[in-house]
Each structure stands twice: as C-alpha cells, then as structure tokens.
Structure 1
Amino acid sequence: TGAGYGTHGRHVLGCPFGAGYGTHGRHVLGCPLGARYGTHGRHVLGCPLGAGYGTHGRHVLGCPLGAGYGTHGRHVLGCPLGAGYGTHGRHVLGCPLGARYGTHGRHVLGCPLGAGYGTHGRHVLGCPLGAGYGTHGRHVLGCPLGAGYGTHGRHVLGCL
C-alpha cells in the first residue's frame, strides 16, 4: 500500500511503501523507501534511500545516500556522500567528501577535501587543502596550503 503517483506517473512494480513520482517520473524497480524523482527524472535502480534528482538529472547507480545533481549534472559512480556538482560540472570519481566544482570547473581526481575551482580554473592534482585559483589562474603542483593566484597570475612551486 501507499505506492503513489504524481502527474503522468508511471507504474510501480514491487516497490516498498512511499516510493513516489514527480512530474513525468519513470518507474521505480526494487528501490528502497524514499527514492524520489524530480522533473523528468530518470529511474533509480538499487540506490540507497534519499538518492535524488535535480532538473534533468541522470541516474545514480550504487551511489551512497545524498549523492546529488545540479542543473544538467552528470552521474556520480561510487563517490562519497556530498560530492557535488555546479552548473555543467563534470563527474567526480573517487574524490573525497566535499570536492566541488565552480562554473565549468574541470574534474578533481584524488585531491584532498576542499580543493576548489574558480571561474574556468584548471585542475589540481595532489595539492594540499586550500590550494586555490583566481580568474584564469594556472595550476599548483605540490605547493603548500594557501599558495594563491591573482588575475592571470603564474604558478607557485614549493613556496611558503
């Protein structure tokens, strides 16, 4: 009991109580209680409770609770809780909790928590927490915490 439909919702097969649909949501097969759909969200297969969709979000397979999507965000596979996307952000694979993207930011692979991007910032590989970018700043490799860039600033290697 309790399998519900929204506007134009499709059918529910073998779903637990509370599996719901949003506008034009597709069907849910064997998903845990609370798996939900946003506008035109795609289906969720075997995802944990609370795996959600944003506008036109793609599907989540085997992702931990809370893996989310922004506008047109791509999918997250095996990423830790809280790995997020900005506008048109690319995917994060095996990154620590909190690795984020700015506008059109590139991907972060194996970077420490908090490695961030500014506008069109390039990627950070193996840099310490807090290594940041300014506008169009170049990359920092092996620099200490807090080594920063100004507008079109060049890179800092091994500075204190």
Structure 2
Amino acid sequence: MAQINQTSTCGLDKKSYVFLHQLELGKEAAVKVMICRSWDTHTAYGKYLSTDFISSDEQGNVIQLTAKSNVSHHFIPRLNAGCVYLLSHFDVIPNREEYRVLKDNKLMIQLHGSTFLRKQPAAEAASFIRHPFSCIEIEHLEATDGKYLVGGEQSERHYGETWARLL
C-alpha cells in the first residue's frame, strides 16, 4: 500500500498524494510534481503528436508526462517549467518501448481532458530538484546496448550545438 502524504496549500483542504515511485499501473492517485522541462513531439513529417514533460517529486523521483494533441491545449499554457503542481485524474500507463525519454522508468503519466491540476505556491519549489538529469558534451556520449546516435555527422554537429547551449 502506498504511503499517503498530506498537504494543505492554496486554500485546499488536506489533499492526499503519493510519491512518483509509488504509482501503480491502472491505479488512481494524486501526485505533487515540479515540471522540469517540456517539449512538443512531432512525426518525421512534421505532424504534431503531443506535448511531453519531465517532472520530479520532492524525493527526486522523475517521470514523463504526456498530453496527446487533442488535449494538450489544456496544459500547454498552464504547466510551466520550475512550477509545482498537484495533479490528479490522470492515467498511469506503461512507458513506451521505443523512444523512451527515461529509459529505466516502467511507467509514465498520460494527461487527459479530465485531469485536474492546481499550481502550488512558488515557495514549495525549493524542496524539489529542478534538473534531475545532467547534460554532457556529445563527444562524451557512449552507446548503450549496442545502439548508436542516428544521423551521422550532421546530427552530431546539431546535437553538439544543442548540448553546448544547455551546459
């Protein structure tokens, strides 16, 4: 059974939530997370598929959130990097087999039209890890499980510029 945490912020009555590592496939829960990063996902032909987010909890656990194109307009203006939110009424789904952002996570959160979110006071962000990942120079990346970076020299040059800006 998951340990329930209590908070009374933003004028809410006591609200129960679980830490991200306590989420279970198909079980309802509420979580308190910081949005660390967001991006739009497109097909190779440019069709918009979803907006995705990396989020962390107070214990430093991380999970990917995804909002499909038909509902993402509800979340794009409301979920901001560096802010803390209470989320509920979402689906806990298996992580993708391909194109995993967090390779070791078995689960991810799918936001939908009835997902509830409430922004928390800015002071709560101090107890969260904003960047639960690290960036490295492209030259220092190592292939894992016999897989390689795609796209050859052009992609390496592009990614190298991107990594340099993030550092």
Shared fold per TM-score greater than 0.5: no
TM-score by length of 1: 0.22
Q: Which structure's residues are more often helix, by fraction?
A: 2
Larger radius of gyration: 1
Normalising by the residue count of structure 2, what TM-score does the alignment of the two structures yield? 0.22
